[in-house]
Amino acid sequence: MKVLTKFVSGLLALASLGSTAEVVKRAALTQVTNFGANTSGTKMYIYVPNNLATNPAVIVAVHYCTGTAQAYYSGTPYAQLAEQYGFIVIYPESPYSGTCWDVSSTAALTHNGGADSNSIANMVTYTISQYNADASRVFVTGSSSGAMMTNVLAATYPELFAAATVYSGVPAGCFYTGTVDGWNTTCAQGQSIHTQAEWAATALNMYPGYTGSRPRMLIFHGSADTTLYPQNFNETMKQWSGVFGYTYGSPQQTLAQTPSAAYTKYVYGPNLAGIYGTGIGHTVPVMGDQDLAWFGITGSSSPTTTTTANPTSTTLATSTTTTGSTGGCTAAHWAQCGGIGYTGCTTCASPYTCRVSNSYYSQCL
């Protein structure tokens, strides 16, 4: 069983590795090969901005199935935002055929158990050591399979991350098969339905005995998701409600048309919120401004909206196959504009064009 790379050993290793921080090219996606224990063979890529802050924050950005570090670097706004705000971005890359993440094995779902989750944790400790990064401002985000890994990292390494944003994933542990990089159809189709207490226990048992702080969670999902079905939004909200001691189904605020017309935001408290998109397929487009606000890198970017009464139902989201209108609307910069199951705007605002990232996701770039 591998353990996290220790700060002290990382510093001692600098003598043999050379000053890796100096040789990493600024403002370019660069691979790092000697970041610590890596039993799964996960690849590490890093983006260090020209405008690097003193004691910078770190964002770990985890790609989707079929994706790569390069694809997520090119298709999301984090590198551009890094230049503006001076943080570092780590882009892990899955070692498996199809490039999904291992969120199904016992090792991956166990603190210091090895597998992808441990490798990514070691990327974080390496980066903190090499760049004198602020260990209290490390964040993680991901889409689809990367969103699953984000939930797993929040459960297995809560001491490393201050906050997380999850784009169209499933609860931590939901994809368990006992095999490496397995596929769990029951979970994917939203049929793994459990109580708040059961889901919370699943997450807490990934790091037995841990009593420290846990990352604040912002969960995104779409009602027209036919890859990871919409019920997974409800189950994920149950899980983190239980972890933080909130009552699932009773958010403190329900904000209509937030952060934009297609979405409703459910705020449970400072540690948990969910954003549910009506007519949005797989996956919800990355919202860099929402992420940075949730992480505390910027101020709140949500518009002021009317607060409605708290729902009494224990289910906040329902699946829909209604096709949204695509006529007479434009998608903003960074917004989704196409892909399997997508029903929103397909025309990008000028001067941006709709570019295909994969079969399920095109984005205005």
The more confidently predicted of residues 332 and 73 is 73
Q: Which range has the worst mean pLDDT, 18-32, 256-270, 278-292, 318-332? A: 318-332
Distances, alpha carbon 230 to alpha carbons 132, 135, 143, 226, in Å:
40, 34, 14, 8
Q: Which range has the worst mean pLDDT, 23-27, 123-127, 209-213, 321-325? A: 321-325
Instruction: Tell me the torsion sign for CA atoms 46, 48, 54, 59.
Output: negative
Tell me: cis bond preceding 259? Omega within 30 of 0 counts: yes
In tens, the pLDDT along 69-126 reads 999 999 999 999 999 999 999 999 999 999 999 999 999 999 999 999 999 999 999 9
Distance between CA 79 and CA 89 in Å, rounded?
A: 7
The pLDDT-based confidence of 364 (bands split at 50, 70, 90) is low
Distance between CA 170 and CA 101 in Å, rounded?
A: 13
- CA angle 354-357-361, nearest 5°? 75
* Positions of E strands within 148-271: 163-167, 216-222, 253-256, 263-269
The pLDDT-based confidence of 346 (bands split at 50, 70, 90) is confident
| Confidence (pLDDT) at 5 | 41
* Active-site annotation, residues: 144
The more confidently predicted of residues 362 and 208 is 208
| Confidence (pLDDT) at 299 | 79
22: exposed, middle or buried (C-beta count within 10 Å: 0-12, 13-18, 19+)? exposed
Residue 127, H or E segment: helix 115-131
The tokens for 137 are: 């401002």
